[in-house]
Amino acid sequence: MDASNTRFAKTHEWVRVEDGVATVGISDFAVKQLTDLVYVELPAAGGEFKAGETFGVVESVKAASDLYAPVSGKVVEVNEPLADDLALLSDDAFGAGWMVKLELADAAELDALLDESAYAAHCEAEAH
């Protein structure tokens, strides 16, 4: 992946902005932590979320984690095939495993997120 334009939340969501549209997913690290994903619940297109709000859930057999919107925006597209093929997420969390695309409400919110190296350090700290 091209990490240079990808930002991360401490809650392990990533966001990548192109032409005012923010693509959101969860990181490889998060997918590995959850192990054996069994279910993902994503919002319907049209839903609006503020940064930090819950927009969905991922579940493994013994855990469930809320998904927090890293930036505010309106859902313009949902990765529908993901619900039926969780391998997309485990195989390619930063690509085919994307979750929603948001119409970015406030580009300034990106500044509050971590860049790749800061996120890597954050994961390192969390793993210990």
Partner 1 sequence: MSVPPATITADSVTRIDAVEPSVPPERTPSMRNPVATQSIFDLAVPGRRSMLFPPSDVPDSPLDELLPADQLAGSPPALPEVAEPDIVRHFVNLSTLNMSVDTHFYPLGSCTMKYNPKRHERLAKLPGLVDVHPYQTPEDSQGLLSVLYEMQEMLGEIAGLPAVSLQPAAGAQGEFTALLVAAAYFRDRGENRTKVLFPSSAHGTNPASAALAGFETVQLGASADGLVDLDELASHLDDQTAVFMITNPNTLGLFEKDVARISQLLHDVGGLVYIDGANMNAVLGITRPGDFGGDMMHYNVHKTFTGPHGGGGPGSGPIAVRDFLGDYLPGPVITRNGDTFELATPPKSVGRMRTFFGNVGILLRGYFYLRTLGPDGLKAVSENAVLNANYLRVLLNDVLPVKHGDLCMHEFVSSAAPVKKERGVTAMDVAKRLLDHGFHAPTVYFPLVVPEAMMMEPTETESKATLDAFAAAIRSILEEDPEVLHTAPHGTPVSRPDEVAAARKPSLRFCRPDR
Partner 2 sequence: MTYLFTTADERREMLDTIGVESVDALFETVPAELRLDRPLDVPPALTEMELESLVTERAGRTKGVSSQTCFLGGGAYDHFVPAVVDEIAGRGEFYTAYTPYQAEASQGSLQVFFEFQSLICELTGMEVANASLYEGGTAVSEAVFLAVRATRRHGKIVLLGSVHPEYRQVVDAYAGHLETEIVTVDCPDGVADPEAVRAVVDDTTACVVVQHPNFLGCLEDVESICQIARDAGAVSIVSVDPISLGVLRRPGDYGADVVVAEGQPLGVPLQYGGPYLGLMACRTEFMRKMPGRLIGETVDREGRHCYVLNLQAREQHIRRDKATSNICTNQGLIALRATVYLTSLGPHGIREAAELCTRKAHYAADKLGAVDGLSVAYDKPFFKEFTVRSERPVGEVVAAARAAGFGIGPELAPLGGPENTFLVAVTEKRTKDEIDRLATALA
| 3-class SS of residue 42 | coil
Tell me the residue type at 109.
Answer: E
Segment near partner 2 (CB under 8 A); pick from 53-61, 70-78, 79-87, 91-99: 53-61
Helix (H) or strand (E) holding 127, with range, is helix 116-127
Token pair in block for residue 24: 């959101």
Does position 59 interact with partner 2 (CB under 8 A)? The reply is: yes
The nearer residue to partner 1, 2 or 84, going by C-beta atoms, is 84
Instruction: Note the residues at the interface with partner 1 (CB under 8 A).
Output: 36, 38-39, 59-62, 86
Closest approach of partner 1 to the CB of residue 84, in Å:
10
Q: Are the C-beta atoms of residues 109 and 52 closer than 8 Å to each other?
A: no
